[in-house]
Amino acid sequence: MATNLGNRVQQARDLARKYMREGWGSRPSVLHAIYDLFDTGIGEDEFLRICSILNPFHAPAGALYENGCAFGFNTCGTLAGALASFAMVHGARYSPKGPDFPGGGWENMYKEILTNPDLSPEKKVRMYLDRLRLIGCGAYYQIVARFKERLGTTDCLKLREPYCKGDPLSREAFKVCSDAAIEGAGIAAEVILEYERHPESLQIGEGHVHLAELRNKPK
């Protein structure tokens, strides 16, 4: 089983490399690699539409860098592709307001957790994260965490800047994008396969935004 997992991950990496060489770009190269390897129930025309919808979610389209600060979507596009890939394979296929939504829907969650005066802020957050895990947010968290661990950052500028050397459109700079796409596709396949076997193993860690908010609360 472990060998099979490794093979699928390598296949995803190889496919992402292929699509990058064909000029698909970072986000759709990752997405296409996963689309080729896993059953999604999505037709080719729908898939191409998804690629188009995903297009703004990379720094060259959706970010501003001003006065040493980043605004908008400054995340590497390959990470956007990896996150969308998981959603394409295992994402929720029901309405958030529907009765089949895990935990009884958002309206029920608001009543049980968010507006419950008997719960402390930390208890509310922990219960909320338990609900998020039911819709795959542990997998999303792990994709981001592994991307950051292996590439050092998720920020487009920080990834590319050491290699640009004053020329953002150099071959060296774009090789960073290709390498990130290959890594992103491998991470996406890895997490998808782990989720299929043991979804409970993909946990939301202490870096989650709401836990950070708790840590940074006024004293």
Q: Which domain holds residue 68?
A: 2-91+136-215
In a domain, 198, yes or no: yes
Q: Is 174 exposed, middle or buried (0-12, 13-18, 19+ CB in 10 A)?
A: middle
In a domain, 86, yes or no: yes
In a domain, 18, yes or no: yes
Tokens of 202: 């993909």
Whether the CB-CB separation of 144 and 79 falls below 8 Å is answered with: yes
pLDDT single digits (tens) 41-58? 999 999 999 999 999 999
- What's this model's pTM, rounded to 2 decimal places? 0.91
Average pLDDT, the chain: 90
Mean pLDDT of 146-166: 94
Mean pLDDT of 2-24: 88
In a domain, 117, yes or no: no
pLDDT at 141 over 90: yes
In a domain, 56, yes or no: yes
Q: CA-to-CA distance for 219 and 201, rounded, in angstroms?
A: 34
In a domain, 96, yes or no: no
In a domain, 178, yes or no: yes
Cα angle: 84, vertex 88, 94; to 5 degrees = 115
pLDDT single digits (tens) 75-122? 999 999 999 999 999 986 666 665 566 666 677 777 788 888 899 999
In a domain, 82, yes or no: yes
pLDDT single digits (tens) 23-35? 999 999 999 999 9
Q: CA-to-CA distance for 153 and 104, rounded, in angstroms?
A: 36
Q: How many domains does the chain have?
A: 1
Least confident of 5-9, 16-20, 59-63: 5-9
CA-based end-to-end distance of the chain: 50
